[in-house]
Amino acid sequence: MTSSPNPDPLMLQEARQTPDVIARQFRENSDAAGALAQVLRERRPPYAVTIARGSSDHACTVLKYALETELSLPVASLGPSVHTLYGARLDLRGALVIAVSQSGASPDVVENVRMAREGGALTVALVNVEDSDLAQAAEFVLPLRCGEERAVAATKSYLASLTAFLPVIAELGPDGRLKEALNSLPDALRRTLELEDAANALAARYSFAQNLLILARGLHYGVAQEAALKLKETSGIHAEAYSAAEFSHGPKRLLAEGLPLLGFTSNDAAWPATEAAYADLRAGGADLRTLGPAAGSTLQTPTTGHALTDTVPSALAFYLFAAHLALGRGLNPDAPPLLSKVTKTR
């Protein structure tokens, strides 16, 4: 494993804690996840709504695909300001409302959860600070179990947000494959940490990039969104995430300017179409490298036995890549200009 100058940045230290964080989360949340699954069986919400910002909202993108593909439950993202700034009280009676926040301190997320619960929604908080305002506002809490996260750029809290609701889905889903994948996920994440040298080598190719386009489709799209944010935060790169399906509908024009691409791969129903899109881009001369579980990826991550859990090693490997990219550019990923750990919005 590559060692950066001592001491290693917090971003790397905390990313490396992820396997133990996820194992602890599954172990300590078992009763809470089972109880929530039973309530969902009884109440049978007709749809779900997510409330989050930043990295937490990107985790909600993955959760949206998870709920829709595994449980056929439609999911929408709620704009927090519709209530806090515009004063609208949305009719969320009977809905499943999921709020995700590392700190649980942002007033707009908290106030929307209170509104939803008062209006008859089933509210769930995925939060790291268990005595936070958000945890107190929600009916159910699934703690992230990360411990303190000190780096400004979230790593283990984003990854724990990806996994916290998956045991509930596994209880409600059609087969046992997801349960098996969850059991083996911590080991897959430990194998992912062994890819740090390879992540560092890939990062070196982008040492002087000022712009980078991130592509993905389906379950990995929320990981691509998070990747673009992290590159902005830690390296000052103007990075944008696009669906591989949408990229040809206009954004492809950017390739004429020579912008490099990083594409996430997958082992799921979206991969054949995504793979074909990547092949077309390469045939047109695009500078495209890939990260994910599909065979032939530039940085191939461990497979986990389920497409949902495959997103977690992909995201962890990207964090290793992003931290080393920042270091290679002479930057401290723990001290991004103008940013602080907790952002409170209304």
Q: Is the pLDDT of residue 312 over 60?
A: yes
Q: Among 37-46, 86-95, 144-153, whose mean pLDDT is lowest? A: 144-153
Q: Is the pTM here over 0.85, yes or no?
A: yes
Does 275 lie in the same domain as 149?
Answer: no
Q: Kindly indicate the confidence band of residue 5, based on its pLDDT and cuts at 50, 70 and 90.
A: very low
In a domain, 337, yes or no: no
Does 270 lie in the same domain as 211?
Answer: yes
Does 317 lie in the same domain as 200?
Answer: yes
Question: Could you give the CA distance from residue 78 to residue 245 in angstroms, rounded to a whole number?
Answer: 24
- What angle, rounded to 10 degrees, do the helices at 221-235 and 54-71 form? 170
Question: Could you give the CA distance from residue 50 to residue 113 in angstroms, rounded to a whole number?
Answer: 10
Choose one of 174, 200, 216: the last residue of a domain. Answer: 174
Question: Could you give the CA distance from residue 108 to residue 83 in angstroms, rounded to a whole number?
Answer: 8
Peptide bond into 260 cis (omega under 30): no
Does 170 lie in the same domain as 117?
Answer: yes
| 231 touches 323 (CB < 8 A) | no
Residues 6 or more apart whose Cβ sits within 8 Å of residue 149: 14, 102, 128, 155, 156, 157, 341
Instruction: Return the percentage of the chain with pLDDT > 90, whole number.
Output: 82
Angle at 300 between CA 128 and CA 21, to 5 degrees: 20
Instruction: Find how far residue 146's CA is from the centre of its chain.
Output: 15
In a domain, 189, yes or no: yes
| 80 touches 138 (CB < 8 A) | no
Nearest to 11 by CA among 231, 313, 239, 208: 231
Integer angstrom CA distances of residue 87 from 114, 119, 126:
14, 14, 25
Question: Could you give the CA distance from residue 224 to residue 311 in angstroms, rounded to a whole number?
Answer: 10
| 30 touches 132 (CB < 8 A) | no
| 160 touches 167 (CB < 8 A) | no
Q: What is the CATH number of the domain that holds 107?
A: 3.40.50.10490
Neighbours of 302 (CB within 10 A): 21
Q: Provide the Cα torsion 98, 103, 109, 110; round to 10°.
A: 100
Choose one of 120, 154, 174: the last residue of a domain. Answer: 174
| 278 touches 244 (CB < 8 A) | yes
Q: Residue 40 phi/psi, 5° resolution?
A: -65, -35
| pLDDT tens-place string over residues 77-122 | 999 999 989 999 999 999 999 999 999 988 999 999 999 999 999 9
| 287 token code pair | 């500078």
Does 242 lie in the same domain as 106?
Answer: no
| 311 token code pair | 């997103």
In a domain, 341, yes or no: no
Does 159 lie in the same domain as 14?
Answer: yes
In a domain, 2, yes or no: no
DSSP assignment letter at 334: T
- What angle, rounded to 10 degrees, do the helices at 307-328 and 54-71 form? 160
For the chain, how many residues are written? 346
Neighbours of 62 (CB within 10 A): 27
| pLDDT tens-place string over residues 252-304 | 656 756 689 999 999 999 999 999 999 988 988 889 999 999 999 999 999 99
Q: Is the pLDDT of residue 1 over 70?
A: no
Q: Kindly indicate the confidence band of residue 344, based on its pLDDT and cuts at 50, 70 and 90.
A: low
Does 222 lie in the same domain as 154?
Answer: no
Question: Could you give the CA distance from residue 341 to residue 1 in angstroms, rounded to a whole number?
Answer: 27
Q: Is the pLDDT of residue 2 over 70?
A: no
Per-residue pLDDT at 340: 52
In a domain, 96, yes or no: yes
- Count: domains in the chain: 2
| 104 touches 110 (CB < 8 A) | yes
Does 160 lie in the same domain as 192?
Answer: no
Q: Residue 286 phi/psi, 5° resolution?
A: -70, 145
Helix residue spans in 44-98 (DSSP H): 54-71, 81-84
Choose one of 174, 208, 232: the last residue of a domain. Answer: 174
Does 194 lie in the same domain as 163?
Answer: no
Integer angstrom CA distances of residue 22 from 116, 183, 189, 212:
29, 10, 9, 30
Q: Which domain range does residue 307 map to?
A: 184-329
Q: Quick check: helix, strand or coil at residue 114? A: helix
Per-residue pLDDT at 164: 98
Does 166 lie in the same domain as 30?
Answer: yes
Q: Which residues pair with 126 in a beta bridge?
A: 100, 142
In a domain, 342, yes or no: no
In a domain, 309, yes or no: yes
In a domain, 72, yes or no: yes
> What value does the mean pLDDT of the chain take?
92
Does 243 lie in the same domain as 207?
Answer: yes
Does 122 lie in the same domain as 226?
Answer: no
Q: Is the pLDDT of residue 24 over 70?
A: yes
